Structure 1
Amino acid sequence: MKAMILAAGLGTRLKPLTDHCPKALLQAGPYTLLEFAIRKLKAAGFNELIINVHHHAPMIISYLKKNLNFGCEISISDESDQLLDTGGGIQKASWFFSDGQPFLVYNADIIGGLDLSALYAMHLQQQSLATLVVRRRETNRYLLFDQKLRLSGWENLKTGEQRMARAGSTSLIQLAFSGIHVINPEIFPLIRTKGRFSIIDTYLALAGNNLITGYLDESQLWADAGKPESLKQAGEIAKLITFSDRNPA
């Protein structure tokens, strides 16, 4: 099975740690963020991976080579010339998913205990265009779902902005996106935007005429390692998650 790891971000919230190191190579407990993502995907059966790179891209490429790609087949989607955000990054890597099978996208920020195999199985069962992993947690920006967890809109509590994707949706549930999603490659011909754009904007644009669903992650182990304080928390959580093919440090 195929998956993509988003590892191109600048990591501005983690400065000065990311001044001379890509965010994906920061340490979280026993793993770098990138190693954790690779091993998490590999353990769930995803062994053909593509990783997008931009900030300190040569360091990531060298790191993968040094570690023999952690036993996976890994391709690189090079965004050194232009950082493309989540949507643009996924679109640039579309060639990798030419087998027609759904693929998983994993943000390298995320450390957690979610069962990726169960997520993928649910996506296949529901036959959604995309399945978005969400959690009940406090944030300023929420995705809005109906009672059947169909994506219906988005809102920013800080600015008051709200965007509805499905007309007539009522009794909506606020859930926070967790940076993990499964996508059917049928999405690519539907994307009209080019260059740099957010995949969330794409989901909102397509949700009115396509089934885009949420997958509620209620696992106790979870952290977004995008900020210094949460990186430390991610490290503590990572210590509790082991992979059978990793030699102890």
Structure 2
Amino acid sequence: MKAMVFAAGLGTRLKDETADKPKALVEIGGKTLLQRTIEKLKKEGVDEIVVNVHHFSEKVKNFIATNNFGIPVSISDESEQLLDTGGGLKKAAPLLKDSDPILIYNVDILSTVNLKELVNYHKKSGALATLTVRDRKTERYLKFDEEKRLVGWLNKKTGETKISVPETFESGIEKTFSGIHVVSPEIFEYFPEDDRFSIIDFYLELSKTQLIKGFFDDSDLWMDVGKPHQLEEARRLFS
């Protein structure tokens, strides 16, 4: 099974940390975020990884070239233009198409989510995509029906909604996206013509006609270390 690591972000929330390096090479407990991500993916059954790059892309390429991770790690280069999450997956599609399914993981996520369980759940469901979600307080929520089908999105601060399945949206279960998802390669057939687009908006549009599921995660650890306070918390935890 192949995985894609989203590592092309600018890391603007970590201004001091990312002034001279990309977020993927920020260290926690003596290991970069990219190394921790690759090691987790490998441990849970991934045998080939694609990493997208943009910000300080040459440093990421050099890091990958000079480290032996025990499995192939290739680059999807977005140096010329940052393509957002959906566009990043679309550009990397030729490197991923012969894997079924494909695991996607944000480089700034630390978690103990059971990825093998996630993948098995996805395979059994028949969904085009399965999104790992949690109970977590934030402003933006994905909504799911009782069968865990994605039915919409809600911004509680602004009141904005994006409704995929109107008949179950209001009663939908609110969960927060965890930056970890699985897709079947058939999803590439549904990509828009645009080169740059959000993967979440793509899922919400696709869920109007296709099955997009939620994997409700309650594992012990989940952290978005792309935020300064959580980066410091993670460093205390892994010190």
Match of 1:45, SS state, is coil
Aligned to 1:3: 3
Match of 1:203, SS state, is helix
Call closer, same or farther: CA 1:238–1:184 in 2, change over 3 Å. Answer: farther
Aligned to 1:109: 108
Aligned to 2:159: 160
Q: Tell me by how many angstroms 1:12 deviates.
A: 0.2
**Gap runs ≥5 in structure 1:** 240-249
**Please, what TM-score do these two structures have when normalized by structure 1?**
0.92
Please tell me the residue identity of whatever aligns with 1:40.
Answer: K
In structure 2, what is the Cα distance between the partners aligned to 1:148 and 1:60? Answer: 40
Q: Tell me by how many angstroms 1:3 deviates.
A: 0.4
Please tell me the residue identity of whatever aligns with 2:2.
Answer: K
Call closer, same or farther: CA 1:211–1:238 in 2, change over 3 Å. Answer: farther
1:112–1:238 CA contact under 8 A, matched in 2: no
Match of 1:142, SS state, is strand
Aligned to 2:78: 79
Aligned to 2:174: 174
Call closer, same or farther: CA 1:211–1:167 in 2, change over 3 Å. Answer: same
Please tell me the residue identity of whatever aligns with 1:180.
Answer: I
In structure 2, what is the Cα distance between the partners aligned to 1:237 and 1:71? Answer: 27
2:145–2:151 CA contact under 8 A, matched in 1: yes
Q: Tell me by how many angstroms 1:120 deviates.
A: 0.5
Match of 1:120, SS state, is helix
1:14-70 C-alpha deviation (Å, 9 max, x unpaired): 0021011100100122421101110000001102110000000010111112212x1
1:224-235 alignment runs, 5 A limit: 224-235=224-235
Call closer, same or farther: CA 1:135–1:55 in 2, change over 3 Å. Answer: same
Match of 2:36, SS state, is helix
1:221–1:237 CA contact under 8 A, matched in 2: no
Please tell me the residue identity of whatever aligns with 2:72.
Answer: E
2:148–2:214 CA contact under 8 A, matched in 1: yes
Please tell me the residue identity of whatever aligns with 1:71.
Answer: G
Task: Give the count of matched residue pairs.
Answer: 238
Call closer, same or farther: CA 1:99–1:183 in 2, change over 3 Å. Answer: same
Aligned to 1:65: 65
1:219-240 C-alpha deviation (Å, 9 max, x unpaired): 111110011111122334456x
Counting aligned pairs with the same residue, the percent is 49
In structure 2, what is the Cα distance between the partners aligned to 1:160 and 1:193? Answer: 29
1:153–1:163 CA contact under 8 A, matched in 2: yes
The alignment status of 1:99 with 2:98, answered yes or no, reads yes
Give the aligned CA root-mean-square deviation in angstroms.
1.2
1:180-221 C-alpha deviation (Å, 9 max, x unpaired): 000011111112241211000100001011110000110111
Match of 1:152, SS state, is strand
